[in-house]
Amino acid sequence: MALIEALNIKKYFPTQGGHLVKAVDDVSFSIASGETVGMVGESGCGKSTIGRVIMNLIEPTDGRLLYDDRNIYELAKAERRALRRKMGIVFQDPYSSLNPRMNVLQIVGEPLTVHRKLRGARLREEVVRLLEQVGLKPEHINRYPHQFSGGQRQRIGIARALALGPKFLILDEPTSALDVSVQAQVLNLIKKLQAAQDLTYLFITHDLNVVRHIADRVMVMYLGKLVEEGSVIDIFKRPLHPYTQALLSANPKIDPNLRGERTLLEGDVPSPADPPPGCSFHTRCPIAEDQCRKIEPELRLVSDRRISCHLV
């Protein structure tokens, strides 16, 4: 059963020049309870904006968001706040996402003080329990962010995200600021916590190796739109959308057999304030045809995956 359902989510930002930046343009998906869904794409494709819309950090321009079948935007304020506690977010950069003037007790304990009114010994006890869950020690409680390594700081961020006992976590590039060896430790922790606490994840990243390691399903975004979605096994074995093919072939670590047939993506991602007509990928697609420049392909079901391309 779906825990999260995003239906036709749009998020447009007006620019000073009178244009609209379509950061997210009519994106729908669902995430089942206990599942890990990876969301990939180059920077500016809208994946982090989707994360912030789901977390209620920004309002969408249009669309519906269901949590456990309840439309978040139709809930009263108090209900919305209660629902918000069932979701957590871990940000990319543990260096800037933790307040340098707060110690670990204050950082991890803040949501517990605000939402559960915990204070004193009870608060300390709960923070120590959270620190131990993420592999930190009780004596870390009085230290400040600058006294930790990058991996430890990310563990503090995860402990804070877990403070209110969420069911759903958004992990927004949680390992991309870390060294490779530390990345693996943090990914293993994320997997271990999921198994122990029955968590559901949306894992946002540009790193395909990470998605293959951690996700059950993957959604590929391009210029604010979902262009391909399917199981990790299917998509990594046989990507169908030309953009997914290019992303995978640009990363030979994924499959050494693909080394001989690399598709290099030429040019930059077009501006979302002025997206190309037709298929938004046509300016970089190696197999674009005439119709691609005029008609926008629909996202449709092909076998077990969704894909938007005229030629698939």
Verify binding: residue 242, ligand SF4, rule CB under 6 A.
yes
For residues 27 and 285, which CB has a smaller minimum distance to ligand SF4 in the complex? 285
Q: Give bridge partners of residue 204 from the DSSP assignment.
A: 39, 172
Which CB atom, from 159 or from 227, has the smaller least distance to ligand SF4?
A: 227
Listed ranges 33-41, 159-167, 186-194, 286-294: which one lies at the site for ligand SF4 (CB under 6 A): 286-294
> Does 258 sit near ligand SF4 (CB under 6 A)?
no
Residue carrying the six token digits 């969301």? 39
Residue in this structure with the two tokens 């001989």, named with its chain if needed: 260
**Span 61-120, contacts to ligand SF4 by CB under 6 A:** none
Which of the stretches 37-45, 169-177, 196-204, 287-295 binds ligand SF4 when contact is defined by CB under 6 A?
287-295
For residue 303, the minimal CB distance to ligand SF4 (Å) is 17
Specify the 3-state DSSP secondary structure of 172: strand
Nearest approach in angstroms of CB 241 to ligand SF4 is 6
**What are the C-alpha distances in Å from 291 to residues 274, 277, 282, 287, 288?**
19, 10, 10, 11, 8
State the nearest-atom distance from the C-beta of 297 to ligand SF4, in Å.
5
26 close to 53: Cβ distance less than 8 angstroms: no
Tokens of 195: 């198994």
Contact range with ligand SF4 by CB under 6 A, out of 37-45, 65-73, 144-152, 276-284: 276-284
Taking alpha carbons only, the member of 97, 86, 266 closest to residue 174 is 97
Rounded to a whole number of angstroms, the minimum distance from the CB of residue 33 to ligand SF4 is 33
Q: Could you say which DSSP state residue 271 is in?
A: P
Amino acid identity for residue 219 in this structure: M
State the minimum distance, in angstroms, from the CB of residue 312 to ligand SF4: 7
Closest contact distance (angstroms) between CB of 53 and ligand SF4 is 25
Count of residues binding ligand SF4 (CB under 6 A)?
A: 12
Backbone angles phi, psi at 137, to 5 degrees: -105, 155
- Provide the 8-state DSSP code for 178: S
Say whether residue 281 binds ligand SF4 (CB under 6 A).
yes
Of 42, 39, 45, give the one whose Cα is nearest residue 23: 45
**224 touching ligand SF4, by CB under 6 A:** no
Cα 166-82-190 angle, rounded to 5 deg: 10
275 is an interface residue for ligand SF4 by CB under 6 A = no
What's phi and psi for 301, nearest 5 deg?
-85, 125
Residue 279 binds to ligand SF4 (criterion: CB under 6 A):
yes
Q: What is the nearest approach in angstroms of ligand SF4 to the Cβ of residue 295?
A: 8
**Pick 119 or 294: Cβ nearer ligand SF4:** 294
**In sequence order, what are the beta bridge partners of 306?**
229, 301
Spatial distance between the Cα atoms of 304 and 311, rounded to a whole number of angstroms: 17
Q: Does 287 bind ligand SF4 (CB under 6 A)?
A: yes
Residues that bind ligand SF4 (CB under 6 A): 242, 279, 281-282, 285, 287-288, 292, 297, 309-311
